[in-house]
């Protein structure tokens, strides 16, 4: 991630790299996921990182899209929540569809940095990298289930094809390094020859099914009415352990 931030010549990114370097030297931890999660909070709260108007608009849009959906949210409501005028939103994004796309990109950006660093990490085995991908994917999916519901709803609809295409392109960009990690494992002899694309859909599909089908999830797990999957820490740990065990059985050579 450090290299990813340094590659951006902006002042904010260079300061991000400095904060990361200082944090890393203090902690000296090998738990890559914990470093990334703590750094995310650290960078957001750091005094240097006063959000720009554009970032404030994206945050407001994320909140409103998550609670009211794409159709139920107006540009005027986003402007009011962000304390800007509609003209400023039109200036930055030109349309509500482009603003939604920017929200998806914003959500994907942090994971993009983690994946870029993971694939180049020489200290982790391929299966350890897969473990980190699983943990980080679960963390991101559980952190804002409402928005993920809206996101996947937009992907299933046909009447906004350009937005649908843009969302799928953003998601695919984060899957490219995951494919690269599995290819690394196969090339090194650590992994068996597997169907890479369907391996990825096995992980993402399991997470998606549990979080987007509350009633089915509740009945499969034998839980009482009112059980909410994404609010259950035990399910989060159980899902992580299951997917890691599944991937070990599926990927590792005997």
Domains of the chain: 1-50 (no CATH), 51-94 (1.10.10.60), 98-254 (1.10.357.10)
**Rounded to two decimals, what is the model's pTM?**
0.73
Predicted pLDDT of residue 82: 94
As a whole number, mean pLDDT of residues 14-22 equals: 49
Query: How is residue 83 annotated by DSSP?
Result: T
Please tell me which residue, 140 or 44, carries the higher pLDDT value.
140
Higher pLDDT, residue 24 or 54: 54
**124 SS3 class:** coil
At residue 46, the pLDDT reads 47
Q: What percent of the chain has pLDDT above 70?
A: 79
Question: What is the distance between the terminal CA atoms of the chain, rounded to a whole angstrom?
Answer: 33
Distances from the Cα of 253 to the Cα of 12, 28, 250, angstroms: 44, 32, 8
pLDDT (tens digit per residue) in 151-174: 878 888 778 888 888 888 888 888
Measured distance CA(225)–CA(132) in Å, rounded? 32
Q: What is the mean pLDDT of the chain?
A: 81
Reported as a single tens digit per residue, the pLDDT across 175-205 is 999 999 999 999 999 999 999 999 999 999 8
DSSP letter, residue 2: H
pLDDT band at 69 (very low <50, low <70, confident <90, very high): confident
Q: What is the 3-state secondary structure (H, E, C) of 178-238?
A: HHHHHHHHHHHCCECCCCHHHHHHHHHHHHHHHHHCHHHHHHHCCCCCCCCHHHCHHHHHH
Q: Residues for the chain: how many in total?
A: 254
Cβ–Cβ under 8 Å, residues 243 and 251: no
Handedness of CA 179, 183, 184, 186 (dihedral sign): positive
């Amino acid at each position: 991630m450090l290299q990813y931030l340094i590659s951006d010549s902006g002042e904010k990114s260079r300061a991000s790299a400095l904060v990361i370097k200082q944090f890393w030297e203090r902690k000296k931890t090998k738990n890559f996921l914990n470093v990334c999660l703590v750094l995310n909070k650290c960078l957001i709260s750091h005094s240097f990182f006063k959000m720009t108007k554009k970032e404030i608009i994206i945050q407001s849009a994320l909140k409103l899209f998550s609670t009211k959906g794409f159709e139920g949210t107006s540009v005027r409501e986003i402007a009011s929540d962000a304390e800007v005028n509609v003209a400023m939103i039109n200036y930055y994004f030109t349309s509500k569809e482009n603003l939604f796309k920017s929200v998806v990109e914003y959500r994907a950006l942090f994971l993009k940095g983690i994946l870029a660093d993971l694939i180049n990490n020489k200290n982790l085995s391929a299966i350890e990298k897969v473990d980190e991908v699983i943990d980080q994917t679960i963390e991101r999916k559980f952190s804002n289930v409402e928005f993920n519901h809206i996101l996947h709803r937009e992907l299933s609809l046909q009447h906004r094809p350009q937005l649908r295409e843009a969302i799928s392109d953003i998601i695919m960009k984060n899957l490219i390094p995951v494919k690269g990690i599995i290819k690394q494992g196969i090339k090194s002899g650590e992994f068996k020859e597997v169907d890479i694309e369907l391996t990825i859909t096995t992980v993402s599909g399991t997470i998606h099914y549990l979080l987007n089908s509350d009633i089915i999830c509740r009945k499969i797990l034998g839980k009482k009415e009112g059980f909410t999957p994404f609010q259950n820490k035990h399910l989060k740990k159980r899902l992580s352990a299951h997917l890691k065990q599944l991937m070990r059985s599926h990927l590792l050579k005997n």
